[in-house]
Structure 1
Amino acid sequence: MRPRLPGCLVGALIAALLCLVGVAVWLPGQKEEPPAPEPARTPVEVVAERRLDERRMELTIRSDALGATTKVRLLLPDRWESRTDWPVLWLLHGGLDDHTSWTAKTDVEALTRGTGVLVVMPDGGRCGSYSDWWNGGAGGPPRWETYHLGELLPLLEARYRAGGRRAVAGYSMGGQGAMLYAAKGGFEAAASFSGALHILGPGVPQAVMAGTAIGCFGTDWKRIWGDPEEQRDVWRAHNPYDLADRLKGVELYVAAGQGDLVEDLANRAARSFAGRLEELDIPARTHFSRGGHNHTSWQRELHRAYPMLMSAIGAGAS
């Protein structure tokens, strides 16, 4: 008769074998393990990443700040994968355009080639104004500023090799956005081409209202900043003219043309902004010339501002 193993030893052997093959074991007297917690939801998530060619990459992003998905286009520097701290140039589009407009309507791909800079072109919404919308005082989506600076910027640094030295430039609505974002800090240079840099200047609030109502049909313009009189503090909080003192130490470029109604308004607003900078003893490069509210003018101004923008962030040959 073969010797019998004690029951406790048999149970221990069975448990060990089952653990080796990955089977969960519950023995009498043991407490049941609680289920693993669900992974925490992040405020921003890349849901698609597409390489369009050697330099162009397009991301589709889910954003809590927007309550929706959105896109961003990147122009990658040569040998992008060789380092993790590339200088970054943000290019912001105008009110009726999108994240593809800079590459589709200007020569920015050729201009930036070989200069060792990661170019970021995010969608900013039609008439989004690079702002967290007031929405009748309730706030909530869309929150473009929170998305760009609080969600997208950290994502680019964590996953897409962006460094901490940044410049920002934009045209029309994007010119205003460039100065707003620079006033928040974190950008070493900012350039505005035909931007509404004094949204409370003569005739500008009316132009903002009309442009939103016509260009973004169905959008209540008061959702963005409210009424310019009743919510004047909200307008001032998004007015580069009123935030000019926060731009000390930032390399600045301000340009506007003259030749059509919209550009004439932008010109007056830009000159008021430049005058305010002068009052505050904040240096800025300015260029006021003939030219319309169009991509031909904005491409020309980007070329003029580009050496300053690159120098400010230490970009050169890649």
Structure 2
Amino acid sequence: MTCEGPRLCYIPGVRRWIATVCFSLLAALGCAHGPEGRLQYQTLQSQSEDRPMKYGVYLPPQWDGRTELPVVILLHGAGDDETSADRKIVLDALDEAIITGDLPPFILLAPNGDRGFWVNWQNGQHAYRDWVLEEALPDLRRRYPTIAGREALHILGVSMGGGGGLQMWLSNPEQFASASLLSAPILNEDETRRFLRRFMSKRAIQEVFGPEGDGDGVDPFLELRSADRLGGSRLLFGAATRDVRGVLRSNQAFHTHLREHEVPHQFLTFEGRHAWTSWADVFVHALCHQLQPTCPRPTPAGWAMQSYERHNAEFDPPARVAPAG
């Protein structure tokens, strides 16, 4: 393994994937940015990673600093880090929604996950899931007043963070009230490995996920074939109309799979592309549905939200708002 600085550690074979995916895809989609400096940052000597690890914290406007609040864990995509949510378009959208009452106040935990898929690597080199759940989250709770219990803990993931968030949620469903997965390729195990072989060697994939059929990854198509598997947790996922090739199609296939197996969920198609400029408003819309019993915000024009509820085994028609005029 080689390292370049505190955040960039690679196993053999992964470097090519980093260069190809991050620079050819993510950089072209506008991921590079300078942080606004509005998040608070903490650094821990991580036992899971055996190195200093950072996380950012968003605190809601007009908060008294004493009232206990729910926690949303934001998992970033490849090429991003703990500063990626620290941008004006994201923070202004969250601030406005909280001030107007569309969102209840909450604390956002934004850990750094490098480009590690948010899983514990099979070769033992990295343990990103443990870093988030066993170190960053408990440290946040020690520093800030938060509401204990499952109903006050949520996952929000984008791109790689959406895929990793799905894995994290399925591995610990009893720990979370909800998971919101945006612009994530949602694939079964075979499709995931075929996709990754475009950027990584077979050996590198096995270093992260283990041998085929015997790895650390969880196949969402196999795991979610019954509503009971949710354990009462809520699932929302979606992709942009101009998302990365294959992402929207994979989300549609997952939506069809869940519908066939009568698994409650919400499926969102939103205007935009694979970028933070598109995700900012989607964060508000997703959290509006996940953090409270009913969402007061209408679905924006050009978006479509489909909800499957087990009690009536029917899909609501796509919710849309007619364009003005």
Q: TM-score when scaled to structure 2?
A: 0.66
> Who is 2:135 aligned against?
151
2:156 equivalent to 1:177:
no
Q: Are 1:93 and 2:73 an aligned pair?
A: no
1:279 and 2:260 equivalent?
yes
Q: Does 1:198 align with 2:198?
A: no
Cα displacement (A) at 1:142: 0.8
Change (3 A) 1:201 1:247: farther
Q: Structure 1 residues 299 and 81, CA, compared in 2 at 3 Å: closer, same or farther? A: closer
Q: 1:168 is paired with a residue of what secondary structure?
A: strand
Report the alpha carbon displacement of residue 258 of structure 1 after superposing the two structures with TM.
4.3
- Aligned pair in 2 of structure 1 residues 73, 289: CA closer, same or farther (>3 Å)? closer
Q: Is the 8 A contact 2:66 2:145 kept in 1?
A: no
Give the letter aligned to residue 222 of structure 2: D
Q: Tell me which amino acid in the other structure corresponds to 2:247.
A: A
Percent pairwise identity? 25
CA contact (8 A) 1:258 1:264 kept: no
Matched position secondary structure for 1:182: helix
Following TM superposition, by how much is the alpha carbon of 1:86 offset from its aligned partner in structure 2, in angstroms? Answer: 1.2
Tell me which amino acid in the other structure corresponds to 1:166.
L
Deviates more, 1:55-64 or 1:275-284: 275-284
Q: How does 1:10-159 map to 2 (within 5 A)?
A: 56-77=39-60, 78-83=62-67, 85-104=68-87, 106-112=89-95, 113-114=98-99, 115-126=104-115, 128-135=116-123, 140-159=124-143
The answer to whether the aligner puts 1:297 opposite 2:284 as a matched pair is no
Three-state SS of the structure 1 residue aligned to 2:126 is: coil
Q: State the distance in 2 between where 1:82 and 1:302 align.
A: 25
Residue aligned with 1:233, SS: coil
- Deviation string, structure 1 residues 268-317 (Cα, Å, up to 9, x no partner): 32223222322332211112356432223322322321211221699xxx
1:119-155: CA deviation from partner (whole Å, max 9, x where unpaired): 11111112x11100011xxxx2310111111222222
Unaligned residue ranges in structure 2 (runs of 5+): 1-34, 296-325
Choose which of 234, 249, 260 in structure 2 pairs with 1:251.
234
Contact 1:76 1:119 in 2 (8 A): yes
Note closer, same or farther for the CA distance 1:176–1:53 as it changes in structure 2 (3 Å cut).
closer
Alpha-carbon RMSD across the aligned residues, in angstroms, is 2.9
Give the letter aligned to residue 194 of structure 1.
Answer: S
Q: TM-score, normalised by structure 1?
A: 0.68
Compute the displacement of 1:56 (Å): 2.1
Q: Which runs of 5+ in 1 are unaligned?
A: 1-51, 214-218
Separation in 2, partners of 1:291, 1:154: 35
Larger radius of gyration: 1
Contact 1:251–1:312 at 8 Å: present in 2 too? no
Note if contact 1:198-1:240 (Cα within 8 Å) is conserved in structure 2.
Answer: yes
Q: 2: CA distance between counterparts of 1:241 and 1:273?
A: 7
Q: Which residue of 2 aligns with 1:309?
A: 290
State the AA in 1 paired with 2:291: M
